Structure 1
């Protein structure tokens, strides 16, 4: 009976203490969050409650499992299993703490910064930093777990002796992965592309939705996702429409008859632009840019605050100009001449 009661008492006591400690921690963080509503730190720290409980519970069991006689026939296996869980729980807690620090720093910076481009740059940097920290913690945790096994410790000396050769082999085998890793860091701190930027890659334009250490995702205007290695953005040319500011100038081309009333068309463009919400009011123009034997090419330009508004603005301008020409000046639309050519004058 004692062989059952003692382990059950220790396990139950550890669970109860863990639940009480987690409840007290969450209560203190909630009160701190209520008193200091101006900062999100205390609310973010509540994410660490579960890993703290795991680490606390496993630590209590790790220190008392021998006295509690939990599976007394397998003390080495129980101790090693608890050690593995403790390492994993500690790594989980460190990752959560790093995530909280990164989110808190980004939230404070975004709240006090009015420049959207700088906010996107910092968001890209802190996201990649968070991923690097997570990867490092995971690698260290796995290494510590492996070192808990005696055969792995015995193999450590031989592994260190051949570290040079293994490093060369690993470097050659992981050349592409390492290239993407360094490319991701270069993107993060070189400020070449940021989350939220409008880019054109492979004749597709969209917004950068996610940047990781190895790949980058672009969400196109029709909700498709283009995933490509981050090394693409350090080795090939691409268009970044958000670089240096999101404001853009768009063009609308019309092919009209030579008799088209260009001054009236220019006046109509000036009247309709204030009626289009996407026009930011900075500038506009309408000029004849080319001529052919059958038509003239008219280019209308207008500005918008970003690429999304520019697309809507261009469509609205094109639609209203053509509708106005069809209604009031249909002769200005291009025609195919089917009549005979005028004879050459005598002499």
Structure 2
């Protein structure tokens, strides 16, 4: 052991030992503080925080230690200083990227933890959840691109090759730019959706004639969960460039309609009273709108519209089905003659002709 360290100055050994001790103490203090914050209800951190950031923090400290000249001198690797520096630089970039992504996910969990998208009045929760979902992907994409760029630029050889390639690839750059135009437009549409929010997670929409809910929003596409459990994959520019129906843009409550086609002798007031009775005896109605009107008259029938309100689109669908069934049953049992039927008018033409004198 003495032969290994005999040529190394004592100052280097002492400096390296103190540095290692300081880094280990700092690492322990950081982890101890995070554990304390995780147990404090006031600063409660999500589960798995230590797993997300403990290792990248350790790698950051390790990269700093590797870069120290005293370590190279202690190991007798002073001639390998270039590779030590490059290794520590790449390790530092990788660890910082990992740490930033981990912190971003922790912040997202802290924010959306206070908002529940499964509640009835979840408009604000869906806004926050949509914004953080899309912005998280944008930030991760930018951080990874910057990390890869910094890692490549740390090598002078690659930097020189890159400069020469960019200098001689003007035409290729234009071609690539035109090729990537659609991709860039798609990504920008995803960013615009995150900011303007024409749609949000769990919004009820009608897209391409299909009724469904927004299940997932990414930078390039949106997943719509159709009512029969199919999935409709729609590119993000669709929601910027084309019209579509959003039933929960500002609120979840919605009006439902039921149309009946009856004979002209139908008792309107009786149907109106029956509609009120049906609505008052179901929890599907939110007690806001209850209207029955004759909206059209046709040669063989009259059109009656029952208008009612519900707390959300799914409940409105169930309410419409219930009201339609109950009203038809009411007419069948009490006013069967009010059901649409065709009339034939027969004139009596069997007359005995008078004899002529």
Gaps of 5+ in 1: 3-16
Match of 1:8 in 2: none
Residue aligning to 2:7? none
Give the superposed CA RMSD: 3.9
- 1:254 paired with 2:260, answer yes
Change in Cα spacing, 1:341 to 1:42, as seen in structure 2 (3 Å) is: closer
Can you list the C-alpha shifts for 1:241-276, whole angstroms capped at 9, x where unaligned? 112322211101122233333221111110110222
Match of 1:197 in 2: 203
* Among 305, 309, 330, the residue aligned to 1:303: 309
Structure of higher CA gyration radius: 2
TM-score in terms of structure 2 length: 0.77
How far residue 128 of structure 1 moved from its aligned partner, in angstroms, is 2.1
Q: Which residue does the alignment assign to 2:354?
A: none
Cα shift at 1:118: 3.7
Asked whether the equivalents of residues 30 and 42 of structure 1 are also in contact (C-alpha less than 8 Å), the reply is: no
Structure 2 residue aligned with 1:328: 334
Could you tell me how far apart the structure 1 residues matched to 2:91 and 2:306 are?
A: 66
Distance in 2, Cα, partners of 1:315 & 1:164: 63
- Select between 21-30 and 230-239 the one with higher mean Cα deviation: 21-30
Identify the match of residue 279 of structure 1 among 272, 280, 285.
285
Deviation at 1:302, TM superposition (A): 0.3
Task: Provide the residue aligned with 1:98 in structure 2.
Answer: 104
1:32 touches 1:42 (CA, 8 Å); kept in 2?
no
CA distance in 1 between counterparts of 2:121 and 2:259 reads 33
1:49-128 to 2 correspondences below 5 Å: 49-61=54-66, 63=68, 66=72, 80=86, 83-107=89-113, 116-128=122-134
Q: Deviations over 1:160-206 (max 9, x none)?
A: 53586565333211111111111112222223222222111101121
Distance in 1 between residues matched to 2:105 and 2:176, nearest whole Å: 30
1:206 to 209, 212, 234: 212
Task: Confirm or deny: 8 A CA contact 1:29 1:43 kept in the other structure.
Answer: no
SS in 1 for 2:285: coil
Corresponding position of 1:34? 39
Following the alignment from structure 1 to structure 2, what is the Cα–Cα distance between the partners of residues 55 and 90?
Answer: 7
| Equivalent residue, structure 1, for 2:346 | 342
* Equivalent residue in structure 1 for 2:53, among 38, 48, 53: 48
- Is the Cα–Cα contact under 8 Å of residues 53 and 99 in structure 2 kept in the other structure? yes
Partner of 2:18 in structure 1?
none
Counterpart among 311, 321, 325 of residue 315 in structure 1: 321
- Shift of the 56–109 alpha-carbon distance from structure 1 to 2, 3 Å rule, reads same
Aligned equivalents of 1:258, 1:42: Cα separation in 2: 66
Give the Cα separation in 1 of the matches to 2:97 and 2:283. Answer: 51
Give the conservation status (yes or no) of the 8 Å contact 1:258–1:332.
Answer: yes
Conservation of the 8 A alpha-carbon contact between 2:254 and 2:309? yes
Cα distance in structure 2, aligned partners of 1:327 and 1:54: 79
8 Å CA contact 1:29, 1:42 repeated in 2: no
Partner of 1:5: none
